[in-house]
Chain A
Amino acid sequence: DQQVKQNSPSLSVQEGRISILNCDYTNSMFDYFLWYKKYPAEGPTFLISISSIKDKNEDGRFTVFLNKSAKHLSLHIVPSQPGDSAVYFCAARTGANNLFFGTGTRLTVIP
């Protein structure tokens, strides 16, 4: 049973525009959420995170929004750049060590 869901397998955006990647979760015990970025033939790399006590966290071009009541989070990338083309994974944590990952969304930024 997938506790973290990314319902859009792919997304294409024009360079300079905003990219919005979405993630839904079912477990209300999740208390920390992360986004990872993955290029082909490489491991995932940490991008940005947010605690469940916050509703927004910003780091440069990347902003993560958390809506706890809807059990939904999103990653905004503004402006999108061709180098942002990758697979983005949403992940959630409850407790110490278990990270639960979504299935990923492949972002393509068109020059």
Chain B
Amino acid sequence: NAGVTQTPKFQVLKTGQSMTLQCAQDMNHNSMYWYRQDPGMGLRLIYYSASEGTTDKGEVPNGYNVSRLNKREFSLRLESAAPSQTSVYFCASSEAGGSQRDTQYFGPGTRLTVL
């Protein structure tokens, strides 16, 4: 049982390049999330998927797109990377978003640098 896995662990991009961050969970969770963490700031929600087939914007969605490929996988795409998107990206999943007690489980993160 690997929990939440993310690939790649590290990535360096040039401004304007595109890439997709992959996330998968093996806990049969319904909800999945993408966060970014910047120095001196807490984690901020980019997008989330409450259930398979649905996605919604979080606090900082601009410059990103997401795909909930199936129940297990939730990808984050940067179409044209900008230096402001340099950050550590965390994927998370939870059993059933919408419950007050719903606990989110996080992956190990992807450290992205945009030059």
The number of residues on chain B lying at the interface, defined by a beta carbon within 8 Å of a beta carbon of chain A, is 29
In the complex, the answer to whether A46 meets B108 with C-beta atoms within 8 Å is no
Task: Give the interface size class of chain A.
Answer: 20 to 34
Q: A31 to B102, alpha carbons, bound, how many Å? A: 13
CB interface residues, B 82-115, toward A, < 8 Å: 90, 92, 97-101, 103-109
| Closest partner residue, chain A, to B3 (CB atom) | A43
Residues in chain A near residue B31, CB distance under 8 A:
97
B48 adjacent to chain A (CB < 8 Å): yes
- 6 A-B pairs with least C-beta separation: A43-B106, A101-B42, A96-B98, A101-B43, A97-B97, A32-B100
Q: Which residues of B contact A (CB under 8 A)?
A: 4, 31, 33, 35, 40-45, 48, 50, 56, 58-59, 90, 92, 97-101, 103-109
Q: Which residues of A contact B (CB under 8 A)?
A: 2, 4, 6, 31-32, 34, 36, 41-46, 49, 51, 89, 91, 93, 96-104
